Structure 1
């Protein structure tokens, strides 16, 4: 059995297609396979409109598909696909090969293998394993410097030089920059804004953490901490309320720090949504003298 017959069996081409040439390019490390249709394909293909008999009208250029590796070497398939033409209605169409998938660059076997990898590992690792990048799927159309709303006008000018229209843009993927938001609204009125998931989460995480800290200070149920106990501050007998040994005649360090913490928590809580009806926030801890606990006053 020749190498061509062996690859034909591995690819499952049947009797309608055949491998006519195979070679290994040592410098690039690519196994190249050239495939061609057989006479039996023309007998089995029918018109897509009226199921009439067709004849080979012409052939397309030789596209290339990246197939699964052959002994860790990249495998590329090239084939000039035939175009059939109906003898009755004259409809011309391209014959679909059995290995073609949803993409124009990869066969269905490679697509299935890549999807299995994507379910098990990050995209960066999949790209490194298969040796492919997103440039096979998307192309960079325009790039410019700047972060203000004027960059969108530059993009529109470049788009119109390629017979594009600004109002034909349907979706714009961007971060949450107000400048970009303004630029899209001024130039692409029909575009729907799609915010990047990474930037949305990046703004949500600090806000959630701030709310959690305030709930811990307020002793809210389920906030991850128990309500703080009253703080006992020693003061001299007969000293008026508010007097202590702290700097500038203010209360001691623990009392001042606690009052400052309560003030900060109350300030942050002022920006939080009010609790729903039937639920009230836990009261703030009180600063009381030692005598309130029944013990002797004084340090």
Structure 2
């Protein structure tokens, strides 16, 4: 009666059956013995038919906890003799993708891993962080191998740091479905070539990509031009405005040396005016009133003008307004903003494309924050394989249910 109850709970079906249950009270471990019916024949993946048992070996699988106690499945596992004379071990239907675990146990690890560090998952499930990482890495590799990118036409490409200094990785994501498609080392044209090759492996030839949003990195621009020949480049407004903000702050720091009233105004100048507190707005308005004598005030006005231009959607209007803005800035004495005007002129068509595509890397910037937070919680990731695993767990939207029927589907 108890054996049938455990068979139902574990989903054990013929020819497999539960033959005994043992609880070690001192060790707090429940062991469930599983066997198969005498005379059973078994199929083996990749070989036609069902085959007779040659001999058996005992395999132990870690399963979900029984209440608060560790649960192990001790399985008398057959090895079958194939028509070519070779002998092969049969994989029970409940066995996981990594040796020593059940599918349900691995599904639990996959559910927890995107939300917390590997060490925290390890404490909850009762195995080592290394084994947690190994499960996640195996599932990411299997799900990624089955991933289909045939419908991808728009990419968002961005970089993030993997370590201190100048050690970077490049991410490519589906700009429509907002899922990471590729993670590669470096942030140069070779990284774009690697991304293009990986897309092709999953059914998306480089010629299929119609648009790409990137920052104004010369290496990225060169790589996209060489590897994605039909892609229209978009520089989203957030990157452009970031450069303008940096110019405002640089101008403030220069003028602050002679005018101490600018001290403490950094965030008032960089944040949206609508998000400022009343006292900060009053302080900002007082500064703008001194625009004739304060270059920082003029820099802020130029930045706001640029932001307003990029809100428009008429391509020809945006192009004409940007060129006029650049002429005005170049005639001013706001040197840091002149560098932004030069940048806008050099990348004019990509910036104008934003008016039509509205394609942005904003979600990749958010992902970068999640990854950096995960890296801090885990005290840093050093291996590229681990970094890829973490990023795909967080934002790959991989269909693990295709690998494990108990795993949740991507959302």
Structure with larger Rg: 1
TM-score by length of 1: 0.49
Q: Which structure ranks higher in relative contact order (CA pairs < 8 Å, sequence separation ≥ 6)?
A: 2
Higher helix proportion? 2
